[in-house]
Structure 1
């Protein structure tokens, strides 16, 4: 079974760049909690921002150029059959963002710009990249609880609950950027699962369920590793303080 290759956002925190709360101990717990709540609020605000043509058409234009090339930039149109070539369900691309909002557009643009899903090969294989990416955004929004208005596109039996520790680790790393990185990994993994056993659109729900189950498993493993690393680091810091205090007393 193909699995998500890497989950960069949940790798162990560098002690030189980690939030000071890890180094300062319990005295900074309140500040850390306030920072995490602020980060979560920003994520919710971004996740609940709807697409508005006047405000966000520049992102749609950027997606068009990234997908179809600078030579075709002047052919941009908000409504055209060409959007379906990228895997949109409608010829009016904006309609597909009604659930995931402008975050879905940001995420899709990041996937296309990454070059990790070959657009021509995806089109030949019938992989609906845009729809897959937007569904991945909706899954993550529901998983992390940042958009209560969006319904998870996963079948009920495939839905997973996000452990508090996983959300905590995501927030410690800034929230929005690691969420986008997780989305890219999930979108790429969706393409990988699809390309292993090409299928038609009727088979997409099964692909989404499988890929998201893989992501949940890897996130749990990464979170456990990060937690163990943090506990070891804290224990080492306490031991160093004890040794220092003993030396000073002597």
Structure 2
């Protein structure tokens, strides 16, 4: 007996899905390699002969400011055969002007003939290198362990409580009251292990800069049916923001949201957007149980990633007065 999708002769699947997937990925990789290594170079050379401008000139003066321009410039620099151009991606804030001047000399670009190029390229490089430096700074915070012996850490933790529930005083530093804002145990320090000080800073930033929204989200988190652990979910969303930053998925957002070099506060603002939007998403989905959190968290994650594929994306939460 033969079945649909099976070879009549051998009664076996006509193809292996995994094998086909791997073959297609390999074929796509080979095409990309051939284009980046050979075809792209000659195509650039031909267009330069016709237009009299290099690829970077056409990008910096012909593309819309933001992710559209900066993403193209980053790609052009990364796959350039010129070492000076490739090295510009690892420049520091201090030597960006020198990098721009070096690139202009290498590509024989005259300021009087292309007056916008220098400033536009500088802005692109500022965003590109700033993103890299932002990741380094965020990683340092993630690795910093919350310490009860550090008065700054302790002060920040107590500040979180006062911002969220100012009308109630903590009975003591270690108390079951921490459960009221979504920590698992009597001492919140144990909940920061995964994201370190970064998780706490994000929670405090949201509560301090978007106080009414943070309290609103906390009230939703304490809902008898649709509730969730506010602080624990917040730390989990910090991990989501961190992973998106590390993978480079957040580049379009930052290239659109920050005209120069993104800084740590911009990362914290991105977290605020995720915290607020996840709460809306959770309530709209009406999960049957908190035990389904990972499933809905992943669904929300994919939704954010889809937004980030839009070159005009800007995931911002309106600042409160």
TM-score, normalization by structure 2 = 0.52
Which residue, out of 207, 223, 228, partners 1:127? 228
> Secondary structure of the residue that 2:309 maps to in structure 1?
helix
Cα pair 2:130 2:262 within 8 Å, conserved: no
Q: Which residue of 2 aligns with 1:201?
A: 290
Cα pair 2:253 2:308 within 8 Å, conserved: no
Q: Residues 87 and 33 from structure 1, CA distance in 2 versus in 1: closer, same or farther, beyond 3 angstroms?
A: closer
> Secondary structure of the residue that 1:53 maps to in structure 2?
coil
* TM-superposed deviation, 1:110: 2.5
Q: Which residue of 2 aligns with 1:139?
A: 240
Q: Which residue of 2 aligns with 1:176?
A: 264
Q: Deviations over 1:87-131 (max 9, x none)?
A: 112221111101111110111122334222412332023221111
Larger radius of gyration: 2
Q: Output the CA distance in 1 between the equivalents of 2:182 and 2:173.
A: 15
Q: Output the CA distance in 1 between the equivalents of 2:66 and 2:129.
A: 22
| Unaligned ranges ≥5, structure 2 | 1-64, 68-95, 101-116, 314-321
Q: Residues 94 and 27 from structure 1, CA distance in 2 versus in 1: closer, same or farther, beyond 3 angstroms?
A: closer
Cα pair 1:87 1:131 within 8 Å, conserved: yes
Q: Output the CA distance in 2 between the equivalents of 1:188 and 1:35.
A: 26
RMSD: 3.3
Q: Deviations over 1:125-164 (max 9, x none)?
A: 322111111000012222222xxxxxxxxxxxxxxx5448
* TM-superposed deviation, 1:27: 7.0
Alignment length (residue pairs): 193
Which residue, out of 312, 315, 320, partners 1:225? 312
Q: Which residue of 2 aligns with 1:110?
A: 205
> Secondary structure of the residue that 1:144 maps to in structure 2?
helix
Q: Output the CA distance in 1 between the equivalents of 2:122 and 2:274.
A: 37
> Secondary structure of the residue that 2:213 maps to in structure 1?
coil
| Unaligned ranges ≥5, structure 1 | 1-10, 14-18, 146-160, 227-250
Q: Which residue of 1 aligns with 2:252?
A: 166
Cα pair 1:122 1:128 within 8 Å, conserved: yes
The answer on 1:48 being equivalent to 2:48 is no
Q: Output the CA distance in 1 between the equivalents of 2:124 and 2:298.
A: 37
